[in-house]
Amino acid sequence: MTLLIGALVIGLILSLLAMGVYISFRIYKFPDITAEGSFTFGAAVTAAMIVAGSDPGSATLAGFVAGMLAGATTGLLHTKFAINGLLAGILVMTALYSINLRVMQKSNVPLLDQQTLFTYIEQATASVAGDASQVDVFGWPVRTTELGALIGVFVFICLVGALLYWFFRTEYGSSMRATGDNAQMIRALGVNVDVRTILGLALSNGMVALAGSILAQYQGFADVQMGIGMLVLGLASVIIGEALVGTKSLGLLIVGAVMGSLLFRLLVAIALRWGLNPNDLKLITALFVLAALIAPGYLRKLQRGGGVHARS
């Protein structure tokens, strides 16, 4: 049960990554590689500030802002210097590796003895649960601290998802979505496409960095290598979520990103539970992503084939 709860918590945290990837890859059609660097950047800034004595809330917010700066830099390189979007993201991601080492002063920063957001969640859980160290959930014993972390992260993700949905339904947010759909049309209406693109990439990487910040606090450390492969994971979550909800509605796509992230982490947890060698985890992740990319198109072909046979 501990493995399941942990997978759910990490899946919820990484749904922030999925939301960020959704903004860049789906709304803006922008292949933003910056995410792998900004994920670690958010974790590095938060960990360094917590170790330096800052409160976890301010450190987490700083991690979010750091990710926005990274995304805005990629947007500036692309829009103002006419650098290919993919290359701009690679340049910023490469630079962030050294910046993250500078921020952390070393390759790994432990947080186990520091006050984090999850310390506050544990304190709140203890005040509610009292002396009970565990509770029964569907007949399974679960530690109250684990259940508190799951509930706390779930509430936070719901709030962030609702705020994201509200923002993209505003006039400014709608113009950002329109920029991704048809930049020429929105430019003809007098909208500054470059500013919308920069802000969109900043918001995307801010969400990614926020995921890195919270994951570092949950796992108890920030590592310079923790962002490797996160872009693929986020993209897989988005694709799985789109297949699950089967619609282009903004609200449902945000929910789908969360569902895709949860399902992806559950699949990884099941694979590990069945005895998967941890050295093969990246290979299995790549296979999951490959399946997520191939399955929707294959299913559509089957549905079209079934419709043809039915008409015949």
| Distance between CA atoms of residues 188 and 100, nearest Å | 40
Q: Check: CB of residue 251 under 8 Å from CB of residue 16.
A: no
Residues 142-153 have a mean pLDDT of: 89
The larger pLDDT score, comparing residue 110 to residue 282, is at 110
**Side-chain half-sphere of 284: how many Cα atoms within 13 Å?**
17
User: CA 251, CA 257: separation in Å to the nearest integer?
Assistant: 10
Give all domains of the chain, ordered by start, each with its CATH number. 2-311 (1.10.3470)
Tens of pLDDT along 26-35? 999 998 999 9
Q: Please write the tens of the pLDDT for every residue from 221-267.
A: 999 999 988 998 898 899 888 888 877 889 999 999 999 999 888 88
What pLDDT score was predicted for residue 191?
87
Q: Which of 50-64, 109-123, 176-190 is predicted with the least confidence, judged by mean pLDDT?
A: 176-190
pLDDT band, very low/low/confident/very high, at 311 (cuts 50, 70, 90): low
Beta strands in 156-239 (DSSP E): 221-223
- Number of Cβ within 10 Å of residue 9's Cβ equals 22
pLDDT at 142: 78
In the chain, pLDDT over 90 holds for what percent of residues?
A: 62
* CA distance linking residue 226 with residue 117, whole number of Å: 19
Mean pLDDT calculated for residue range 113-125: 92
β-strand partners of 135 = 142
